[in-house]
Amino acid sequence: MKGHLRGASNKRRAMTLLLVVSALLLAAACGATPQSILEPTTASARRSLELLSVVFWASVVVFVLVEGALVYVLIRYRRRRGDGLPRQTHGNTRLEIAWSIAPVILVVVIAVLTVPKIFADADGAEADTLRVRAIGHQWWFEFVYPELGIVTANELHLPVGRSVEIQLKSDDVLHSFWVPRLRGKLDMVPGRVNKFVITPESSGTFLGQCAEFCGIAHALMKFRVVVESEAAFDAWVANEKTARAPPASEQAQAGEALLAAKGCVACHTIRGTNAAGVIGPELTHVGSRSHIAAGILPNTREGLSTWLSGPQDVKPGNFMVIPELSDDEVEYLVTYLQGLK
């Protein structure tokens, strides 16, 4: 009786566990999935998804067949009361050949499907391809448009429907450029240029992130790709080419005066001022970006003052060196930076 009760409570516990795990899995599957590879918006990302589907369904079939056979054998040939030692056999040549050959065939099929996709992904630039250099830094992304004379950070703008060649470099250690909805990962390797060509097919903001462990703030190294109409892109380019907007208020003027006093000029460039450093992100039009600190904080007064009051609290280990600022100084700088549209 006691054993029977214990069995029932064990069963109940197992059921509860199963329910909790299922609920957690369901919850994990809910909500927005801005970095999903299941919603491709380029031919390259679609090719990856096609391959993933083939591999996934092949795995499902193999799983069902193997587990089905296993469960059948376990039940059909289980030990019954009064059974002695079964007849001892060693090996079955035909079976062993079969289960060696079957996986090889499967792998060959997947390889044959993969190779043309690798070649398609290696397609190069055309005459009207836009070229962008993406440079990985600990822990932010720099984007250079050599033909347009633009340098920006953490927000890459691209025109929809036009092919773009992204050349990947690194300034320090290994990083990896990954925007799941646009393409699979590709490493940013010091001393080497990796590149790929894609044509974004729909407008929108696509989240990207460094996908190679690159130091303490690796997980806080994000970026955005803004894919927009040709007209919106041209307007963005025209604005990016201009020097910084002159400070529009006394507070903003005080903010600009702090650039030299606090040493910002040594690391950041703000065209139109004496700030010409090339160590940190370009800030000439930082006010027009949606986020700061490599996609970590929203570009609001609150976000900016959080960052300026303690960059190490937001992104531990980052290389921004800034003396402690008074509340007023933070206010002036925030007003100034927000005005840099």
What residues line the site for ligand CUA (CB under 6 A)?
Answer: 136, 139, 175, 210, 212-214, 218, 221
Specify the length of the chain in residues: 341
Q: How many CB atoms lie within 10 A of CB 147?
A: 8
Question: Do the strands 194-198 and 164-170 form a parallel or antiparallel pair, or are they unpaired?
Answer: antiparallel
Describe the strand order of the beta sheet including 194-198 as a list of residue ranges: 150-153, 140-145, 130-137, 164-170, 194-198
To the nearest whole angstrom, how small is the minimum distance from the Cβ of residue 279 to ligand CUA? 16
- Quote the least distance from Cβ 296 to ligand CUA, whole Å: 13
Report how far residue 224's alpha carbon sits from residue 234's, in angstroms, rounded to the nearest whole number.
Answer: 18
CB 134, min distance to ligand CUA, A: 12
Residue number, 170 or 284, with CB nearest to ligand CUA? 170
Nearer Cβ to ligand CUA, position 176 or 284?
A: 176
Instruction: Please identify, using beta-carbon distances, which residue of 153 and 275 lies nearer to ligand CUA.
Output: 153
If the CB atoms of residues 220 and 333 are measured against ligand CUA, the closer one turns out to be 220
Question: H or E stretch including 233?
Answer: helix 230-241
Q: Does residue 135 contact residue 171 with C-beta atoms inside 8 Å?
A: yes
Nearer to ligand CUA, 218 or 268 (CB): 218
256, 248 Cβ separation under 8 angstroms: no
Shortest distance, CB of residue 201 to ligand CUA, whole angstroms?
A: 27
Give the number of other CB atoms < 10 A from CB of residue 231: 9
Nearer to ligand CUA, 41 or 318 (CB): 318
Distance in Å, CB of 173 to ligand CUA, minimum: 7
Name the minimum Å distance from CB 176 to ligand CUA.
Answer: 7
ω before 139 within 30° of 0 (cis)? yes
